[in-house]
Amino acid sequence: MGYKTDWFRGIYPALVTPFTRDDRLDEEAYRRLIRYVLPHVNGVVPCGTTGEFSYMTIEERKRAIEVCLDEVNGRVPVLAGTGCPSTRETVQLTEWARDAGVTGVLVVAPYYLKPTFNEVYDHFRALDKLGVPIVIYNIPQCAGTHFRWWTAEGMLLDLENVVGIKDSSGDMPFLEALFEKVKGQVGIFVGHDEIVQAALAAGCDGAILASANLIPDIWQVIYRATLEGDLATAQEWQAKIQKLVRIVATCGPTQAVKEGLEMMGIPVGVSRHPILRGGSFRREDYEELRMQLEILGKIPPADVVYDLGGREVATRVAATPHTPRRVSGWDLRVGEGFAGPPFHEIAHIDLLIGRRDGPVGRAIARSLAGWGEARGLKVISERPLILLVPTVTIRTGRQRELFYQFAAEGIMMAVRQNIENGFLPEAALDDLALIINAFVHPAASIGRRVMLNNYKATVQALRKAIEGRPTLEQLFEEKAAARHPFRYAP
Amino acid sequence: MGNRTGWLRGVFPALVTPFDPKTEEVDEEAYRRLIRHVLPHVDGVVTSGTTGEFPYLTRAEQRRLVEIARQEVGDKLVIAGCGASGTAQAIALAQDAREAGADAILVVTPYFLHPSDKEVYQHYYDIATRVDISLILYNIPQVVDAVLPRSVVEDLADLPNVVGLKDSSGDLTYTMEILEYAGDRIDVLVGHDEVVIAALAAGVSGMILASAQVYPEVWQEVYRLVREGRLEEARALQRRVQKLSRIFCRHGGGVAVKAALNMMGISVGPPRRPLKSAGGALIHETRAEIQLELEKLGKIPVEEQPFAYPSGLLETRFGDLELTPEVIRAHGLRLGSGTAGEGVNRVQLDLVAGRKDTPLADAYALQLTYPLRGREALTAILEPGLTVRPSTLLLPTLPQKNLRQANMIYGPTQLALGRAIVDALEAGVISAQAADDEIMVVLATVHPKALDRHALYRSVYEAARMAIAQAFSG
């Protein structure tokens, strides 16, 4: 029969595995990451799903676990991911991990060939003989196998070295069944970032999370508050990070966490292929994650100078490694942004920003004096000067409402926010002019989505125009895999 | 042995139900016209099926559709859709259908509350034993959200008046399983427009299709050819309608069928709400694609559009951008032109590039304030979120008359141009310095009848490569 340990509780980050530019394990970056999370966590998980264990060789996994053990140096438990598709390989790696000194092992349901429940049970029974504490790991999104409460109960209560379960399914009824059947006898962890507060409040002993690489401190606050019965605080914090953790949980966790850490100044490289930049973790997700980290104060500020030709404006912004510290070329800077779904409420922004006395300002003046009214152009801000242009000819009253009311409000939300956070510095507002060409689909319905998508697309377009993104390096890296949605027939 | 009738074979359109655009009332005259349009090529019709929007019809309306069909089709078959979520309603509909003169009823798997196998069996059993009419079972998991279990079909086939099964799943493994277990006793009809030949070759007796009211003659011919073992000819014929069939099955359903019929001059009005004629399940872009495919099939006339590729000295082609030959020379703007492709896939690109402190920047900014109807300039991208550098505007020289034409520009053209630019950058044809300091405007002339996205992509890429080489080589 399994048992409950004292150490299997609290917040455990599922550590990403840093890789160097030539795709080797980056041990220094790994140690830095561990040092960053360690003050806030109750344990760590090397080589979990977020750690890309399935893209690593056995030798690499062993080395990562060794580095982790060395850096942690006994301060918190190390729960090492040792799951493989076959029982044979899992046993070998688990045995090695036991001898290397891990506190316990986290073993994913054997995946890909979809063994039946009794085959899964015997897989864990074989591991049980090794004498190392085992946490069984349910993650149907990846493994393709979903434990049932009655299979999980069997493994949790029959096997003597099983100390708990991590459930990443996000399936609350499944967790509730576990509370009913095994609560207090083994540890129950939630692994789905979006429902942590609810799961802890309902009775989970802790959480193993991808997003705990990024915000271990906030997860610790939520965990502590729940332990102390302060549900209001826990709920408030979960709500504050909900968007961030939804992006991490649902948009390609490995790449999302890695790019997030990079934004925060903790470089860990990128995910191994086939995961790509701009893939499951889409470019619009990148921009949103950045905004969320920015709002939480996780992106360190830097001084940036805008060379407006003849005069310089200094500003201070939350800067990523890709933010230039000096921005010139304010004749014309170009940015583009895209946000969706839903399909008909997609926003697409073509944005120009430049000096009022340059091409952008001149074009605004000319268009207003000429065809402005006839073509539906509208000045929606004086500081900075912003001309809003409909990409699609407006024909109906509803289109007009969606464009001039909802889309325009979304665009202005983005502008106001970027004035506040310094990307549009107050001292430069009299000098700057923008042309924002916005697409609202003629069949759009949902006003709020139109507004929010235009907000997001404008933030992207603005940041990209100012920061000069995409970089050439990014273009070369991503050009082969780019897939234009209108390139193909239905 | 079994219930195979000998008459449940051939081609049966699942008729749409025409509605008045204002009142949403059933338009009976339009229904009669629709039946007369299909009748020469079909073996019968299906009223109030899924394509006929049966869940939006009242019992009285469904009965009336059967009456009209009975009057119109003569001695061909009337198969009445009698789908309902509950058994009592289905029985009532079946009784109506029988009284109104239907030859058979088509009964969908009970939906919404997800009854179990036993309950599904009892549903059909009750209808079959209470109403004296031939019954066709109906598997359509796409809308029912459940498969009609094979074991249930296997048993239902023993009931004397269960004569067939319509399989709209498109899942041939299911069709094969039904043929294996019940094919000796009931006729199987294919209900998925994309897999007709495969299903016919596998041994189904006929088809009930949404698209059989748009191109009934094609299916009549496919049916004949397969029966005669002339598979090559049948395949070639089905391939001509494959894209439209796919659109009807997967990109709009009955709404797309109504759009096609309306384009062909067979007015059937809009769907009932909440469905929208376009902008819902059928997006405008797909509707434009339907028009194009109907043009290809000769179902609607092709609109002729006067058209010429720009000619004359290259430096005189940028007047729209207010860049005269003098301005171009004075500011050292780079010019390049490229032409590639054959026939309607021939593309011409005229390119101007230059620094951001030249009048080209004014032209660039001005273009984004001036939405020329049908000639909107867009930024060159590889995909949304990935703009190319140098920043480039793509400007069609011809007004785009419809979304299909627009999709040729803003899909394949935009991407091919973007790729050519990035490839030129990577190859060093365009310098990294130019990527920062310069901008480009590309005038694209694409034939208004271009329709092969892949061919167009290749033409644009090649034309762009030539234009860039000319502009940046020296």
ipTM of the complex: 0.89
Judged by a CB distance cut-off of 8 A, whether residue B357 touches chain A is yes
Assign residue A52 a region (left: φ > 0; alpha: ψ between -120 and 50; beta: otherwise).
Answer: left
Is residue B22 flagged as an active site residue? no
Beta bridge mates, A351: A335, A436
Mean pLDDT by 10 residues, chain B (474 residues): 82 98 97 98 98 96 98 97 96 98 97 94 97 98 95 96 97 97 97 98 97 98 97 97 96 94 97 91 89 91 84 94 96 97 95 96 93 78 92 91 80 94 97 95 92 93 98 86
Judged by a CB distance cut-off of 8 A, whether residue B390 touches chain A is no
Burial class (CB in 10 A: 0-12, 13-18, 19+), B193: buried
The answer to whether A475 contacts B279, with C-beta atoms less than 8 Å apart, is: no
Judged by a CB distance cut-off of 8 A, whether residue B387 touches chain A is yes
Enumerate residues 6+ apart whose C-beta is below 8 A from B227.
B200
Tell which residue, B164, B104, B99, B118, has the closest CA to residue B137. B164
pLDDT score for B203? 95
The answer to whether A476 contacts B426, with C-beta atoms less than 8 Å apart, is: yes
Q: Which of A334, A372, A377 sits opposite B379 (nearest CB)?
A: A334
| Angstrom distances, CA of residue B199 to CA of A233, B106, B202 | 61, 19, 5
The answer to whether B366 contacts A363, with C-beta atoms less than 8 Å apart, is: yes
Cβ neighbours of B273 in A, within 8 Å = none
The answer to whether B365 contacts A359, with C-beta atoms less than 8 Å apart, is: yes
Judged by a CB distance cut-off of 8 A, whether residue A489 touches chain B is yes
Coil, strand or helix at B286: helix
Enumerate residues 6+ apart whose C-beta is below 8 A from B398.
B307, B375, B445, B446, B448
Enumerate residues 6+ apart whose C-beta is below 8 A from B212.
B11, B12, B13, B14, B38, B42, B219
Interface probe, candidates B364, B387, B419, chain A, greatest A C-beta count within 10 A: B387
Judged by a CB distance cut-off of 8 A, whether residue A461 touches chain B is no
The torsion of the CA quartet B430, A486, B413, A475, rounded to 10 degrees, works out to 0
**Which carries the bigger pLDDT value, residue A112 or residue B39?**
B39
Count CB-CB contacts under 10 A for residue B365: 29
Per CATH, domain B10-296 is 1.10.10.10? no
State how far the Cα of A29 lies from the Cα of A48, in Å rounded to an integer: 17
Q: Which CATH class is domain B314-471?
A: alpha beta
Is residue A121 flagged as an active site residue? no
Q: Which of A334, A362, A468 sits opposite B362 (nearest CB)?
A: A362
Domain locations in chain B? 10-296, 314-471
Residue indicated by tokens 């209001």 = A232
Enumerate residues 6+ apart whose C-beta is below 8 A from A123.
A87, A90, A110, A115
Q: Which of B356, B357, B457 sits opposite A487 (nearest CB)?
A: B457
Judged by a CB distance cut-off of 8 A, whether residue B469 touches chain A is no
Going along A174-311, which residue ranges are E strands?
A: 187-190, 206-209, 301-307
Residue A225 token pair: 């508050």
Q: Looking at the complex, report in whole angstroms how far the Cα of residue B373 sits from the nearest Cα belonging to chain A.
A: 7
Q: Which of A338, A363, A490 sits opposite B362 (nearest CB)?
A: A363
Angle between the N-to-C axes of helices B242-250 and B284-296, in degrees from 0 to 180, rounded to the nearest 10: 150
pLDDT score for B371? 63
Enumerate residues 6+ apart whose C-beta is below 8 A from A148.
A117
State how far the Cα of B404 lies from the Cα of B374, in Å rounded to an integer: 12
State how far the Cα of B163 lies from the Cα of A449, in Å rounded to an integer: 50
**Which carries the bigger pLDDT value, residue A190 or residue A147?**
A190
pLDDT score for B378? 85
Interface probe, candidates A349, A375, A469, A475, chain B, greatest B C-beta count within 10 A: A475
Catalytic residue (one of B22, B31, B121, B166): B166
pTM, two decimals, is: 0.91
Judged by a CB distance cut-off of 8 A, whether residue B296 touches chain A is no
Q: Looking at the complex, report in whole angstroms how far the Cα of residue A479 sits from the nearest Cα belonging to chain B.
A: 7
pLDDT score for B252? 87
Residue A303 token pair: 């001084």
Catalytic residue (one of B31, B124, B138, B215): B138
Where is average pLDDT lowest: A10-19, A170-179, A339-348, B211-220? A339-348
Residue A236 token pair: 């408030």
pLDDT score for B350? 98
Cβ neighbours of B426 in A, within 8 Å = 476, 479
The answer to whether B370 contacts A375, with C-beta atoms less than 8 Å apart, is: yes
